[in-house]
Amino acid sequence: MKLSSQAQAFVLHFGEMGSRWGFNRTVGQMFALLTIHNKPVNADQLAEALKISRGNVSMGLKELQAWRLIELHHQPGDRKDYFTASGSIWDLARTVFEERRKRELDPTLTLLRQLLLTEPRDEQETEAQKKIQEVYSLLEMLDQFANTLSKLEHKDLAKLMKLGSGLNKLLDLKAGAKAKKPGK
Amino acid sequence: MKLSSQAQAFVLHFGEMGSRWGFNRTVGQMFALLTIHNKPVNADQLAEALKISRGNVSMGLKELQAWRLIELHHQPGDRKDYFTASGSIWDLARTVFEERRKRELDPTLTLLRQLLLTEPRDEQETEAQKKIQEVYSLLEMLDQFANTLSKLEHKDLAKLMKLGSGLNKLLDLKAGAKAKKPGK
DNA sequence: CTTAATTTTCAGAAATTTCTGAAAATTGTA
DNA sequence: TACAATTTTCAGAAATTTCTGAAAATTAAG
């Protein structure tokens, strides 16, 4: 497994960014490598290419499988497990996106919902509740938004991309549609 | 600074989630506390309420100021610095969102742009370039999307929220508009 | 069943991040 | 200016996360 300097840069970068995206450096590197490399790769090759221990590769593959980001293949006459990134780039992004939504938004929404159920006992708590309600509304909207986004098919995505700055124009459109209606 | 059990739960939770949202536990707690508490709070009060060292509070406040999430106030006849969360909940969310976009997307876009400039030297590299291009297109779209979102005013947000599952309906609307005229 | 190839596990090592607290620096007041 | 209140800094301690590598477990072939 010789990596071109391009691939090398790509892999190292996704290692560094990995932590921001929800996995650690080596998992990020493994994922990046499987993504740019179009041939299936086995664990020993990963360990060698990334200069990390075999055990670490095993753990990383397990994690990537839990995220459903990679899939297992076999080469005829070879007992080793081979892996590739699963699905299109958009599929992968969507999976990561969805997973992050689950981890970053859902637990908070659950807690805030609980907090909103209890009656405020004094002025101070009433004020706090108001804030909690605001945070809740906002996060719920983000959650629905993310949820919808992650359900989009590839063709819907293409639609969005064609619109250029997307949301901007969509909002304009909405404003236009609203303006046509009488009243208010 | 006595925290109600509600406030307590809120603060502790945002501490735990903090790392997922880009800051560490104590910074998350400090931010949460300043967010639910409507009176200005000073550093000693934070240290006491969160049971952390005065030095840690100082560092955390510095970080929150760098993010522009809090602002400084003064009480007449008191030399201490007092802090509040700055702006509305939506302002805060937008700031966090924007900051994360900068940290998570921009550096990657910059690298990928560079990688796309160099000519592929063989079949292998040509394939890699294709993948890089795909990743680039996707992330660029996400970036524009996030950028637009973070520029939305509060009233635009309200507009979006009224639409319920937002994007879903917007996309329907768009499809309708393209086909002919919206009937809804 | 036995054996060899392969993968997984996990205790402890290494690396990284966060936190403390005392000392240094800064600030406001007299 | 001198001084006390307050904030900041930062070296090292503590906590947490990641990684290694050898041993255990699993798997497939003969």
CA of B73 to C1' of D1 (A): 29
What is the nearest CA distance from B53 to chain A, expressed in angstroms? Answer: 25
* Structural domain contains residue B184: no
User: Do B80 and B37 share a domain, yes or no?
Assistant: yes
* Structural domain contains residue A13: yes
User: Do A69 and A149 share a domain, yes or no?
Assistant: no
User: Do B72 and B147 share a domain, yes or no?
Assistant: no
Q: pLDDT tens digits, residue range B97-135?
A: 898 898 889 999 999 999 999 999 999 999 999 999 999
3-state DSSP helix/strand/coil % of chain B, to nearest 5: 70, 5, 25
User: Do A97 and A52 share a domain, yes or no?
Assistant: no
Angle CA B127–B129–B131, to nearest 5: 75
Please name the nucleotide lying closest to B80, CA to C1': D6
Q: pLDDT tens digits, residue range A134-146?
A: 999 989 888 887 8
**CB-CB neighbors (< 8 A) of B20 in chain A:** 22, 103-104
Of B63, B86, B109, the last residue of a domain is B86
Is the Cβ atom of A85 within 7 Å of strand C at any atom? no
Give the residue numbers spanning the domain of B95. 90-179
Please name the residue ranges forming H helices in chain A: 5-21, 25-36, 43-50, 54-66, 89-104, 106-117, 123-151, 154-162, 167-180
Please name the amino acid found at residue B54. Answer: R
Say how many domains are in chain A: 2
**Residue A36 in this model has a pLDDT that exceeds 50:** yes
* Structural domain contains residue B60: yes
* Structural domain contains residue A184: no
Of A71, A86, A101, the last residue of a domain is A86
What is the nearest CA distance from B128 to chain A, expressed in angstroms? Answer: 5
Is the Cβ atom of A54 within 7 Å of strand C at any atom? yes
Interatomic CA distance for residues B182 and A126, integer angstroms: 43
Torsion of CA B2, A114, A133, B103, to 10 degrees: 90
What is the nearest CA distance from B54 to chain A, expressed in angstroms? Answer: 25
User: Do A81 and A94 share a domain, yes or no?
Assistant: no
CATH code of the domain containing A66: 1.10.10.10
User: Do A46 and A80 share a domain, yes or no?
Assistant: yes
Tokens of B88: 């509305």
* Structural domain contains residue B96: yes
ipTM: 0.87
**CB-CB neighbors (< 8 A) of A137 in chain B:** 161
pLDDT on residue A58: 98
CA of B94 to C1' of C19 (A): 29
Is the Cβ atom of B151 within 7 Å of strand D at any atom? no
Of B86, B117, B132, the last residue of a domain is B86
Other beta carbons within 10 Å of A154:
12
Q: pLDDT tens digits, residue range B35-85?
A: 999 899 999 999 999 999 999 999 999 999 999 999 999 999 999 999 999
Interatomic CA distance for residues A24 and B90, integer angstroms: 30
User: Do B116 and B40 share a domain, yes or no?
Assistant: no
Cβ–Cβ below 8 Å for B108 and A17: yes
User: Do B80 and B118 share a domain, yes or no?
Assistant: no
Cβ–Cβ below 8 Å for B10 and A115: yes
